[in-house]
Amino acid sequence: MAARLLAIALAVLLTTLLGAHQSPPKRQVAITFDDLPGASVGRLDIEHFERFTTELLAAIARHQVPAIGFVNEGKLEAGGAVVPARVALLKQWIDAGLELGNHSYSHHDLHTTPLDDFKQDVIRGEPITKKLMADAGKRLRFFRHPFLHTGRDAETRGGFEAFLAERGYRVAPVTIDNYDYTFARAYDRASHGAERQRIVDTYVEYMTGVVTYYEAQSQLLLGREQPQILLLHANALNARTFDALASMLRNRGYTFVALEAAIEDEAYKKRDEFYGPGGITWLHRWALTEGKRGAFFAGEPVVPAWIAQAGR
């Protein structure tokens, strides 16, 4: 394991040194956001959600990113009734020319929820999102698994994927996962501007390390870098930092592509026979299916202890 970590570190160092003399490699990434209309700790007033949604969408537009947001329609309700102002947050995404997908109504866990109940939760999560998309001349076509949990056995997964196909969905995979939500909790709970800035700086540094790690994982598994699919969450931290994240990705040679374009790559046809309890990326599912173990997965950046503590 130590030898592999050293190899990764040397590869990153070499890339950095060569970067001053060579153009960055040509890379592609699809940007996806979960938990729309948004996620927040402590601040649940609509003004807060309106503010960070507007800020996030403005940053997405500045960088011309064809992003997709995955909706939990249960978040559109209060006291059992749909709140028009929350629906308006989703319409902002549509009006910005972006796409919406289904993330289930309740964000239930397929690993703990009976399959029939989970299917009903997916259906319950469709009506408002489907109408907004239809009004814009678009179709609701992508589903993102909550927790990236796709089923603990082949029968459950097969049954659920058949159900998705019948309803016209394609699964939205992920190849760059991260703990942005842990940083976001710390950011939401920060008591002053200096603390928030420290969290922002640490988060951007962490995300740079995460992207570097998954680039290396792609090379190790595939011998190349397939179009990546980055999972983020719709929250105030990502609204604050998206300019920096997008610039970091561009500096690493990425162009932004739609999810539908990314998954046309041959890599996304690879076998996935992972049925473990974790919610892991498709890169790591493919690796485990091929028998990779242990040291292959070493080196993933960790959340600093002070961030985890601040988010509690």
Task: List, for residues 87-111, the tens digit of each pLDDT value.
Answer: 999 999 999 999 999 999 999 999 9
The torsion region of residue 20 among left (phi > 0), alpha (psi -120 to 50) and beta comes to alpha
3-state SS assignment for residue 179: coil
CB neighbours (10 Å) of residue 259? 22
The model scores a pTM over 0.95: no
**What pLDDT is stored for residue 21 in this prediction?**
54
Confidence at residue 5, expressed as pLDDT on a 0 to 100 scale: 44
**What pLDDT is stored for residue 24 in this prediction?**
82
Strand partners, 94: none
Of 41, 3, 19, residue with least CA distance to 187? 41
Question: DSSP strand E in 220-295: where?
Answer: 228-233, 254-256
What does the alpha-carbon distance between residue 113 and residue 101 come to, in Å, rounded to a whole number? 21
d(CA 213, CA 9): 10
pLDDT at 17: 44
What own/partner pairs with CB < 8 Å and gap ≥ 24 does 8-15 have?
8/213, 8/216, 8/298, 8/299, 11/216, 12/212, 12/216
Closest CA to 277 of 114, 30, 111: 111
Q: Domains in the chain and their CATH numbers?
A: 25-310 (3.20.20.370)
Report the length, in residues, of the chain.
312
Return the closest-CA partner of residue 186 out of 157, 206, 216: 206
Query: Which amino acid makes up residue 138?
Result: K
Reported as a single tens digit per residue, the pLDDT across 34-65 is 999 999 998 889 999 999 999 999 999 999 99
Rg (CA), the chain: 19
Instruction: Give residue 20's pLDDT.
Output: 47
pLDDT in tens, the chain (312 residues): 444 444 444 444 444 444 445 678 899 999 999 999 999 998 889 999 999 999 999 999 999 999 999 999 999 999 999 999 999 999 999 999 999 999 999 999 999 999 999 999 999 999 999 999 999 999 999 999 999 999 999 999 999 999 999 999 999 999 999 999 999 999 999 989 999 999 999 999 999 999 999 999 999 999 999 999 999 999 999 999 999 999 999 999 999 999 999 999 999 999 999 999 999 999 999 999 999 999 999 999 999 999 999 988
Which of 150, 285, 299, 300 is closest to 221 using CA atoms?
Answer: 285
Q: Give the separation between CA 295 and CA 205, rounded to whole angstroms.
A: 24
pLDDT of residue 311: 86
Q: Is 142 helix (H, G, I), strand (E, B) or coil?
A: strand
pLDDT in tens, 119-137: 999 999 999 999 999 999 9
Q: What does 46-79 look like in DSSP terms, one character per residue?
A: HHHHHHHHHHHHHHHHHTT---EEEE-GGGGEET
